[in-house]
Amino acid sequence: MPPFAIRLARFAARLLSALAAVAALAVVFLALVVLTNGAASGLAAWSATLGAGLVAALWRGRSRTGAARLVPFLPVVVAAALTASVCVPTVPTTRRYPPALPFVATQHWRLDTGSRVAVYHYPSADPGTRHPVPLVYLHGGPVRGISVLDHRFLQLLARRGHDVYAYEQAGGGRSDPLPMDQYTISRSVRDLDAFVRRLDKGKVDVLGFSAGAVVLTRALAEPSVAARLHRTVIAEPGPMDGPTSRINGHKGHPSARDLAPSATGPRSTHIPRYAVAFGLMRLGLLTPDTGLIGQAEGDNAFTAADLGSDTASAYCARDADRIPSEDTPQNFSFSPAASLRVQRTVKDSPSMAPRLRRSGTPAMLMIAECSSQVRQWATTILADDPAVQRTQFMPGVGHHMWNGLDDNNDRAAAVITAFLRGEPAPLPNHPTREEIPAFLHDHK
C-alpha cells in the first residue's frame, strides 16, 4: 500500500475514533440529563460528563509524551462545546406575554381557585336577536392562547346575537402561569366553575372545542358544576379520561397532515437546547417540571412552526394548499410542558362514564368529516351522556371547523346557534346512539 494511502487510512481511523468519543460523551450527557431531570439547566449533567471525559482523556494520554498527550482531550473539548449548547438559554427565562389585541380589550380576573386569567368579551351586536343566556368559549390547547382565527369566530357568534365570553386557561396566552404541579384536568374544571360564578349571570351556555371540549365533558359529569350550565356544545373532543385515551380507533377522512407545505418561520426545535428538552419531555424521559428549562422559557421559545403537521392535521386533505394562517406571531402562545402535564392527568384519570351517565344538561356533539381525532373519543361521549340531544356531522371541514375558508364559519355558527336557541338543526342528527356501530364500521 502506498505511503499516502497508509497515512490516509490512519487519519481516517483516528478521525472515526475521535467522532466515536464525541458521540459517546454526548450519549452520556443525555443519559445524565434524564437521570438528573435536567437539574441546574443541564449543568449538573454537563459537569459530570466533562469530568468523566477529562478522566478518560488523562488515562488515554498517560503513556504519551509531549503534545501527543493533548490529543485525547480534543474530543472532550468538542463534546463539551456541543453539549454546552443544551445548557444555555437563547430566549428570556421570564414570561413574555403577547401584546394587547387591537380589536378587543383584555381583562384579567382573579378566580376563587387562585388562577388569574385573561378574559375577552364580545357583547351581542344585534339587540334584535340577542340571546338572553351568555355563551362561554373554552379553547383548545390545552394550555395555549386563543388564536386570532378563533377570535374572529367569536365575533361572528356575537353578530348572531350571542353575548360571548372567553378566557385563556391558566398558563396560556395572557393568563398567569401556575406552578407545574397544579396543571391538571381537575383544576381546569374548577376554573370553569369559578369563572361562571365570577361572571355572576346565572346559568351559561358553553362551547368547548378540542381540549376545551374535554374540560366541558368532565364538567358535565360534576353535578355541582353542571348545575350552572344551561346548554353545552362539545366540538371535536379529545379523550375524556384514561380508558378513552387508550382507545386505538380510526379517524375521519384524510387530513392535510402529510400533504400541506411545511410550516414556515423559526422553530425552537432547531435549537439544541429546546430540541432536547421538548423531545425528551414528549418521550416521557423528562418530567414537565424538568430543571432543564423553566416553564416561562419553554413558553417563550415555542413557536407556531413547532406545531408543524399538527396544524395541517386540523384541515381536510383538499385544503392542503390553502391552510390559513391561524394566528399572528405576536399573539401565538403555547405552553408545551403545561399542556403535556394536563394531558397526562387525563390519561391517568379513571373512567368518567359512570358519572357522565347521570348528566342532565342538554348537550350537542359536533364531529368534523376530516377529523384528526379518534372517532371513539366523540362516540364514547355520545354513548355515555344521555343528555346529548343531537349530533352534527360537519361535512367539508377538519378538526378546526371554523377556519375562515369558504362558508365554514357561517355553517358552524348556524349549527351552534340553532342548538343554543332550541331551534331545528340545520343538519341531520347523525350519528345517533343507535347509529354508532355503523358509523364506526363505515369509517366515516
* Cα angle, residue 79 at apex, residues 74 and 82 outer, rounded to 5°: 130
Task: Write down the pLDDT at residue 92.
Answer: 95
3-state SS of the chain is CCHHHHHHHHHHHHHHHHHHHHHHHHHHHHHHHHHHCCHHHHHHHHHHHHHHHHHHHHHHCCCCCHHHHHCCHHHHHHHHHHHHCCCCCCCCCCCCCCCCCCCCCCEEEECCCCCEEEEEEECCCCHHHCCCCCEEEECCCCCECCCHHHHHHHHHHHHCCCCEEEEECCCCCCCCCCCHHHCCHHHHHHHHHHHHHHHCCCCEEEEEECHHHHHHHHHHCCHHHHCCEEEEEEECCCCCCHHHHCCCCCCCCCECCCCCCCCCCCCHHHCHHHHHHHHHHHCCCCCCCCCCCCHHHHHHHCCHHHHCHHHHCCCEHHHHHHCCCCCCCCCCCECHHHHHHHHHHHHCCCCCHHHHCCCCCCEEEEEEEECCCCHHHHHHHHHHCCCEEEEEEEEEEECCCCCCCCCHHHHHHHHHHHHHCCCCCCCCECCCHHHHHHHHHCCC
Longest dimension (CA), the chain: 95
The DSSP code sequence of 41-64 is GGHHHHHHHHHHHHHHHHHHTTT-
Task: Write down the pLDDT at residue 37.
Answer: 96
In percent, the amount of the chain with pLDDT more than 90 equals 82
State which amino acid sits at residue 32: L
Is residue 71's pLDDT more than 70? yes
Burial of 438 (0-12, 13-18, 19+ CB in 10 A): exposed
Give the full edge-to-edge strand order of the sheet including 135-138.
107-110, 116-122, 164-168, 135-138, 204-209, 229-235, 363-370, 388-398
Split at pLDDT 50, 70, 90, the class of 5 is low
| The CATH classification of domain 107-256+309-441, taken from the options 3.40.50.2300, 3.40.190.10, 3.40.50.1820, 3.90.1640.10 | 3.40.50.1820
Q: What residues are paired with 393 via a beta bridge?
A: 367
Mean pLDDT of 78-84: 93
Task: Write down the pLDDT at residue 361.
Answer: 98
CB 336, CB 297: distance < 8 Å: no
User: pLDDT digit string (tens) for 311-366?
Assistant: 999 999 999 999 999 999 999 999 999 999 999 999 999 999 999 999 999 999 99
Task: Write down the pLDDT at residue 243.
Answer: 97
Split at pLDDT 50, 70, 90, the class of 372 is very high
Stronger pLDDT, 414 or 444, i.e. the higher one: 414
CB 371, CB 251: distance < 8 Å: yes
Q: What residues are paired with 109 via a beta bridge?
A: 117
Split at pLDDT 50, 70, 90, the class of 132 is very high
Task: Write down the pLDDT at residue 75.
Answer: 87
CA distances in angstroms from 216 to 74, 115, 239, 389, listed in the order given: 58, 18, 12, 16
Task: Write down the pLDDT at residue 152.
Answer: 98
In percent, the amount of the chain with pLDDT more than 70 equals 96
φ, ψ for residue 433 (rounded to 5)?
Answer: -60, -40
User: pLDDT digit string (tens) for 391-402?
Assistant: 999 999 999 999
Which secondary structure element, helix H or strand E, spans residue 11, and what is its range? helix 3-36
Question: What residues does each domain of the chain span?
Answer: 3-84, 107-256+309-441
Mean of the per-residue pLDDT values of the chain:
93
- Alpha helices by DSSP H, 123-203: 148-159, 185-199
Mean pLDDT of 64-78: 79
- If DSSP codes are grouped into helix, strand and coil, which group holds residue 333? coil
Say how far residue 294 (Cα) sits from the centre of its chain.
Answer: 17
Task: Write down the pLDDT at residue 442.
Answer: 81
- If DSSP codes are grouped into helix, strand and coil, which group holds residue 233? strand
User: pLDDT digit string (tens) for 184-222?
Assistant: 999 999 999 999 999 999 999 999 999 999 999 999 999
What pTM was computed for the model? 0.93
CA distances in angstroms from 383 to 106, 386, 390, listed in the order given: 39, 7, 12
Mean pLDDT of 267-273: 92
Task: Write down the pLDDT at residue 147.
Answer: 97
Distance CA 45, CA 84 (A): 10
User: pLDDT digit string (tens) for 105-129?
Assistant: 999 999 999 999 999 999 998 777 7
Question: What number of other Cβ atoms are within 10 A of residue 275's Cβ?
Answer: 15
User: pLDDT digit string (tens) for 6-52?
Assistant: 666 565 666 687 788 889 999 999 999 999 999 999 999 999 999 99
User: pLDDT digit string (tens) for 271-318?
Assistant: 999 999 999 999 999 999 999 999 999 999 999 999 877 899 999 999
